[in-house]
Structure 1
Amino acid sequence: MPSPAPDTTVLAVHRDREHRFGKCRVGAIELQAGLGVVDDAHWGRKVQHRSRVKADPEQPNLRQVHLISAALFAHLETLGFAVGPGQLGENISLADAPGLGWRELIALPTGTRLHFAQGPVVELTGLRNPCAQIDHFQPGLLAAMLERMADGRLIRKTGVMGVVLQGGRIQPHDALRLELPPAPQRVLERV
């Protein structure tokens, strides 16, 4: 039986039909199973991220939905950066919740399922890797989004990626329940 995980709510939702750095805040997003966020540039069964399409356009799309904890914005503020919901290109900004800050979000295991109040289910596939474009948004932000642990492992703070298992609507203030996968669990890797 999976151990219980903290729950939270949705702070804001975003989408953009174009491949731009940030995404536009909207009142609600619609998810489609196996495809992602309707009317978003990353919607589709096959990879949509431009650099990944160049490498192999036939790869499955493991980056249908991007999620970030609002606790990351507060963390970045302590480092001298002003970043808000949607500005890092996420589809879903999660409200800061006890036990589910930015560190806990990126530490969830692969296969964690996020059950949203109105029915959508997103399964985590990996970590978002920050790219050099982030320094065009705010100089020095790329370095702030990466951290080395004492053992040399790299921490990527830019949130998690997932695929849509069950479609439906998501909007601000929707509750979210996490379901951890059974053991053995695998750490999220860059996707």
Structure 2
Amino acid sequence: MNETAQIAAVHADDGHRFSKQSVDFLELVAGHGVAGDAHYGTTVQHRSRVRVDPTQPNLRQVHLIHQELFEELAPKGFAVAPGALGENVTTVGLELLALPRGTRLHLGETAVVEVTGLRNPCSQIDDYQRGLLKELVGYDDAGTLVRRAGIMGVVHRGGTVHPGDRIAVELPEEPHEALERV
């Protein structure tokens, strides 16, 4: 567990827009997600998934991205601010992409988000900044597809979270399952 992991910023938007507005706090509701956010609900809220099957469970209630990603992108000419890629929670000091499926992230005093998988970024990212999608989705030296646009989770236990709140990591029992896209 990383003792320095914390929430850098929080974001929400009641519409299906690409970026989310920074807010002072988020209210996480168990089984539903971020109160007041367009992706709030027990069933899928992402428009493309609703068209396929609106009864699917919502495994994308909370989107988290690590602030270190923005710092890696800056020298390549990309200026990405927290919330710009549509995340609800921007973290710092935590290797989100290395977490196994089922990890529980304790955010602040009471909230718990269970990690369900990787965000699968779409071409809208290139509308935001041309060439950014190629930086967020690519292949490693072994030819394996790598997604770097954050992780998704469901709210296991509700609560209010603020920038500066600590994040505690609770790993699932082994064997650990690598994250796949959700």
Place the TM-score, normalised by the shorter chain, in its bin. over 0.9
Partner of 1:145: 136
- Give the RMSD, CA atoms, in angstroms: 0.8
How high is the sequence identity, in percent, across the aligned residues?
A: 55
Q: Give the 4+ runs in structure 1 shifted more than 6 A.
A: none
Q: Tell me, what secondary structure is at the counterpart of 2:153?
A: strand
Map 1:1-191 → 2, pairs under 5 A: 5-7=1-3, 8-95=5-92, 97=93, 100=94, 104-191=95-182
Q: TM-score, normalised by structure 2?
A: 0.97
Q: Which amino acid aligns with 2:163?
A: P
Instruction: Tell me if the contact between 1:27 and 1:171 (Cα under 8 Å) persists in the aligned partners.
Output: yes
1:107 and 1:138 map into 2 onto residues whose CA distance is 26
One-letter code of the match for 1:180? L
Contact 2:105 2:167 in 1 (8 A): yes
What 5-or-longer segments of structure 1 have no aligned partner? none
Q: Distance in 2 between matches of 1:107 and 1:147?
A: 16
Q: CA deviation at 1:152?
A: 1.1
5+ residue gaps, structure 2: none
Give the AA of the match of 2:2.
P
* Conserved? CA contact 2:108–2:162, under 8 Å: no
- What is the alpha-carbon distance in structure 1 between the residues aligned to residue 52 and residue 162 of structure 2? 34
Contact 1:37–1:65, Cα closer than 8 Å, also in 2: yes
Q: How far is the alpha carbon of 1:78 from its aligned partner?
A: 2.0
